[in-house]
C-alpha cells in the first residue's frame, strides 16, 4: 500500500460520553467520500481531547456509550480501497486520563489540575505508547497525526515537574524546561513506536513548523498542521514556507468549513487554499468533521471531486524543493524568548509581516531557520526582521554573508542599532525638533512616503532610530516639510551590501497591509539587486520549485478574494487576473505550460518574457 501523503481527507469528532457512538457508521457513506475525492490517505478520529476512545480499547478509556466498533468500520473501508488510514489521536491533551490520574496532570500556576498530561509523568508510557501499539496490532493502522501536542503544552507546577524547577525560576526559564521536556517526550514515543513497527508513519501536529523552528531531532516521518479556518490562504503561504525549508515530506490541512458560520467552503475557495500549499511542494488535506456519533456526514460531496481533480492535475509539484531569491531569517532564540512556550504570542508578527509584504510585491521568498544559517549564501537577498536576541556568533555570520557578496536587509530600530555597532556606526533614537517640539527617545506616530505615488502611510508601532544618511524620509507629520530622518540606508560592505530599515516595518505590515509598504520593500530590494521575477500585475504569489531533470516550475497563484480578512469566511468566486506579463531575469531556452494554457513567449539572451491572457486560480510555467 502506497503511504504517500499527497491529498487526504481528515475526520475527527472528539468522542464524548453522552452520545451513542457507532450505530450509524457504515461503509457505504464513507465510500461516497472516497469515490468523490479519491484521497491518497484518510485520517479519522480514535481519541480526541476528551480522552475517550471511539473503539473498544483495552488500555485506554472507552467512550461510555460506544455501541459498535466505529473505528473498525473506518479502517476496513479505507483498506478495502487500498487507502492508508491515519489516526487523529490527542496526545498531551487527554481529559479522561488526567481525571482518572490527577497525580499525572499538569498543575497550573493557580494550583488547578488541568486536562493536560504532565510531560514529567508516566502518561506517555502508561497510555500513549501502549494504545498506539494496540491500534497497530488490532486494527492495522498505517500512521498517526497526533493532535493536542506542542500548542497545548502549559507551564507545569505539579509534583512531577518540581524536581526540574529551581527557586525563583523565571517565566522564560520555565518555558525552556517545558520546551525541552516536550521534545524529549516526542522523541521517546516516536522512537518506541518505530522500533515496534518501522513502517508506521508519524507526525505531531505543528512539530518542526513555525511553532518549533528547529532541526527535526525527533524522527517524524512528515510535518503537518491545520492552518486557521479563516484568512486561510494568507496563513497557508506563511506556514507552508516555515515547513518547506525543513526538507521533509509535509502537508497542510485546510478546514473545509468556516468556523464562525459552520458553512461549507465552496470548491473554489478550497482550491485556492490547496494551491497555496502545493506551490511550495507540500501535500494538501481537508478537515471535515465527523458526526458526534462517529459516523460520516451524509450530504452533497460534489465539491470534493472538483478539489480532487484540481489537486491531482498538479501532482508534479509534490515533494519538490523550493528555490527563491530572498531568504527571510527566523531566529529561534529570539522567537522563544518572546513566546508562550511554543505558541507565538506575537513573537512572529514581524517575520510574518515581512514575508507577506515581499510576496505581495511579487517576489520569491522562503523562510530560513536559525540552524540553517550556514546555508544563507544561496540567497541573493537575506532579510532579518526585527529579532532582538540574535547571538553574537550569528550576527557575525550575517555580516559575513554581506561581506561575501550578499544583500543583507536589517529591519527595526533595535536590529539597526545592534548591527550598526558591528560596522562602527552609532545609531540613536530620533530626536524631534519641529514646530518647537523637542522630544528625545520619541515613540509617537510617524509616516513614510511611497516614492512613486507620493502616498503617505503611518508607522504605528515601535521606536525609530536615526541612520544619519540614506534615502527616503520618515516624517513626523504627513507633510513633506516635516521630515526627520532617512527611512532606509544602503551601505557597501566587502563585496556586498547592507541595508538598514530603522523602524518596525514587519510588525506594521502585519497589522495593516498598505500599498506604500509593499512599494517601500520592493523598491529597497530593487535598489540592491535585480529581481529574478518581475510582474506587471499585483495580487499574484510567485514560487519556484526545482522540478525533474533540472527544470524549474514557476508557480503563479491568484490571491484575489477573501485575502487578509477574518470577516470573509466563505467566498465562491475568485476574480481572474488578465493580461499578465512575467519577465524572468535568468536565461532559459525552453518554456512550457504543462496545464495547457495558451501563452506567448519571447526568449532573450539574459531572460524570458512570458505573456498570459488570464490567470484563474493557479498555473505552472516549466522552465529549462
Q: What is the pLDDT of residues 20-58, one digit of tens each?
A: 999 999 999 999 999 999 999 999 999 999 999 999 999
Query: Residue 595 falls within a domain, yes or no?
Result: yes
CATH number of the domain at 607, please: 2.60.40
Query: Residue 1 falls within a domain, yes or no?
Result: no
Torsion of CA 224, 230, 234, 235, to 10 degrees: -30
Q: Please tell me the distance from the alpha carbon of residue 288 to that of residue 299, in angstroms, as a whole number.
A: 12
Whether residue 521 is found in the same domain as residue 595: no
Q: Does residue 440 have a pLDDT over 50?
A: no
Whether residue 125 is found in the same domain as residue 98: yes
Whether residue 41 is found in the same domain as residue 178: yes
Q: Does residue 575 have a pLDDT over 70?
A: yes
Distances from the Cα of 252 to the Cα of 2, 70, 225, angstroms: 19, 26, 5
Q: Is 602 helix (H, G, I), strand (E, B) or coil?
A: strand
Whether residue 429 is found in the same domain as residue 571: no
Whether residue 343 is found in the same domain as residue 437: yes
Whether residue 456 is found in the same domain as residue 586: no
Query: Residue 70 falls within a domain, yes or no?
Result: yes
Q: What is the pLDDT of residues 228-275, one digit of tens each?
A: 998 899 999 999 999 999 999 999 999 999 988 889 999 999 999 999
Whether residue 315 is found in the same domain as residue 343: no
> Residue 67 has what DSSP assignment?
-
pTM of the shown model: 0.96
Q: Please tell me the distance from the alpha carbon of residue 611 to that of residue 539, in angstroms, as a whole number.
A: 16
pLDDT band at 561 (very low <50, low <70, confident <90, very high): confident
Query: Residue 217 falls within a domain, yes or no?
Result: yes
Whether residue 57 is found in the same domain as residue 92: yes
Q: Does residue 400 have a pLDDT over 50?
A: yes
Half-sphere exposure for 237 (CA within 13 Å, toward CB): 28
Whether residue 471 is found in the same domain as residue 339: yes
Query: Residue 236 falls within a domain, yes or no?
Result: yes
Q: What is the pLDDT of residues 368-392, one digit of tens each?
A: 999 999 999 999 999 999 999 999 9
Query: Residue 488 falls within a domain, yes or no?
Result: yes
CATH number of the domain at 488, please: 3.40.50.880
Of 346, 345, 342, 368, the residue nearest 355 (C-alpha): 368
CATH number of the domain at 63, please: 3.20.20.80
Half-sphere exposure for 15 (CA within 13 Å, toward CB): 31
User: How many structural domains does the chain have?
Assistant: 3
Query: Residue 2 falls within a domain, yes or no?
Result: no
Query: Residue 365 falls within a domain, yes or no?
Result: yes
Whether residue 244 is found in the same domain as residue 302: yes
Radius of gyration of the chain, Cα coordinates, nearest whole angstrom: 26
Picking from 319, 334, 352, the residue at the C-terminal end of a domain is 319
Cell (9 digits) for 551: 527544470
Q: Does residue 434 have a pLDDT over 70?
A: no
Domain that holds residue 546: 534-623
**460, 513 in Cβ contact below 8 A?**
no
pLDDT band at 483 (very low <50, low <70, confident <90, very high): confident
Picking from 531, 558, 573, the residue at the C-terminal end of a domain is 531
- Cell 490517505 belongs to 41
Whether residue 261 is found in the same domain as residue 296: yes
Amino acid at each position: 500500500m502506497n503511504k504517500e501523503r499527497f491529498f487526504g481527507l481528515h475526520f475527527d469528532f472528539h468522542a464524548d460520553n453522552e452520545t451513542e457512538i457507532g450505530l450509524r457508521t457504515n461503509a457505504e457513506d464513507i465510500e461516497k467520500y472516497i469515490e468523490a475525492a479519491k484521497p491518497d490517505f484518510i485520517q479519522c478520529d480514535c481519541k480526541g481531547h476528551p480522552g475517550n476512545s471511539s473503539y473498544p480499547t483495552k488500555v485506554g478509556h472507552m467512550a461510555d456509550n460506544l455501541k459498535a466498533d466505529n473505528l473498525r468500520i473506518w479502517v476496513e473501508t479505507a483498506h478495502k480501497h487500498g487507502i492508508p488510514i491515519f489516526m487523529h489521536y490527542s496526545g498531551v491533551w487527554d481529559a479522561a486520563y488526567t481525571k482518572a490520574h490527577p497525580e499525572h496532570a499538569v498543575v497550573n500556576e493557580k494550583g488547578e489540575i488541568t486536562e493536560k498530561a504532565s510531560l514529567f509523568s508516566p502518561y506517555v508510557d502508561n497510555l500513549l505508547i501502549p494504545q498506539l501499539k494496540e491500534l497497530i496490532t488490532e486494527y492495522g493502522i498505517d500512521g498517526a497525526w497526533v493532535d493536542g501536542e506542542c500548542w497545548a503544552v502549559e507551564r507545569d507546577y505539579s509534583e512531577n515537574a518540581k524536581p526540574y524547577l529551581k527557586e525563583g525560576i523565571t517565566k522564560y526559564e520555565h518555558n525552556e524546561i517545558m520546551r525541552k521536556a516536550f521534545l524529549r517526550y516526542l522523541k521517546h514515543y516516536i522512537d518506541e513506536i518505530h522500533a515496534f513497527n518501522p513502517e508506521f508513519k508519524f507526525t505531531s501536529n505543528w512539530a518542526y513548523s513555525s511553532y518549533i523552528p528547529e532541526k527535526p531531532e525527533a524522527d517524524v516521518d512528515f510535518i503537518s498542521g491545520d492552518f486557521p479556518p479563516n484568512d486561510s490562504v494568507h496563513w497557508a503561504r506563511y506556514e507552508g514556507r516555515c515547513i518547506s525549508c525543513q526538507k521533509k515530506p509535509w502537508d497542510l490541512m485546510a478546514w473545509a468549513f468556516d468556523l464562525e458560520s459552520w458553512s461549507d467552503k465552496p470548491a473554489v475557495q478550497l482550491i485556492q487554499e490547496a494551491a497555496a500549499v502545493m506551490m511550495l511542494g507540500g501535500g494538501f488535506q481537508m478537515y471535515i468533521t465527523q458526526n458526534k456519533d462517529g459516523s460520516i456526514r451524509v450530504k452533497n460531496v460534489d465539491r470534493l471531486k472538483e478539489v480532487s481533480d484540481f489537486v491531482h492535475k498538479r501532482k508534479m509539484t509534490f515533494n519538490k524543493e523550493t528555490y527563491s531569491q530572498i531568504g527571510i531569517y527566523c531566529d529561534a532564540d529570539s522567537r522563544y524568548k518572546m513566546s508562550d512556550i511554543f505558541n507565538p504570542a506575537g513573537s512572529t508578527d514581524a517575520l510574518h509581516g515581512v514575508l507577506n509584504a515581499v510576496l505581495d510585491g511579487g517576489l520569491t521568498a522562503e523562510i530560513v531557520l536559525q540552524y540553517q544559517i550556514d546555508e544563507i549564501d544561496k540567497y541573493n537577498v537575506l532579510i532579518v526582521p526585527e529579532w532582538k536576541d540574535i547571538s553574537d556568533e550569528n550576527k557575525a555570520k550575517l555580516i559575513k554573508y554581506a561581506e561575501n557578496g550578499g544583500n543583507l536587509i536589517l529591519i527595526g530600530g533595535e536590529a539597526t542599532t545592534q548591527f550598526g555597532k558591528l560596522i562602527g556606526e552609532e545609531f540613536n533614537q530620533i530626536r524631534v525638533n519641529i514646530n518647537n517640539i523637542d522630544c528625545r527617545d520619541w515613540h509617537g506616530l510617524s509616516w513614510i512616503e511611497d516614492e512613486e505615488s507620493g502616498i503617505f502611510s503611518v508607522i504605528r508601532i515601535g521606536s525609530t532610530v536615526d541612520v544619519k544618511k540614506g534615502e527616503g524620509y520618515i516624517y513626523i507629520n504627513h507633510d513633506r516639510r516635516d521630515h526627520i530622518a532617512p527611512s532606509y540606508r544602503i551601505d557597501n560592505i566587502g563585496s556586498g551590501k547592507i541595508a538598514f530599515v530603522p523602524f518596525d516595518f514587519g510588525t506594521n505590515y502585519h497589522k495593516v497591509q498598505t500599498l506604500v509598504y509593499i512599494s517601500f520593500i520592493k523598491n529597497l530590494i530593487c535598489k540592491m539587486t535585480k529581481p529574478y521575477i518581475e510582474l506587471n500585475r499585483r495580487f499574484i504569489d510567485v514560487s519556484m520549485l526545482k522540478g525533474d531533470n533540472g527544470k524549474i516550475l514557476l508557480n503563479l497563484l491568484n490571491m484575489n478574494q477573501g485575502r487578509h480578512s477574518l470577516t470573509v469566511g466563505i467566498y465562491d468566486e475568485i476574480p481572474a487576473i488578465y493580461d499578465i506579463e512575467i519577465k524572468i531575469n535568468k536565461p532559459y531556452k525552453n518554456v512550457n505550460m504543462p496545464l495547457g494554457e495558451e501563452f506567448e513567449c519571447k526568449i532573450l539572451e539574459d531572460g524570458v518574457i512570458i505573456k498570459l491572457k488570464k490567470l484563474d486560480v493557479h498555473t505552472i510555467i516549466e522552465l529549462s
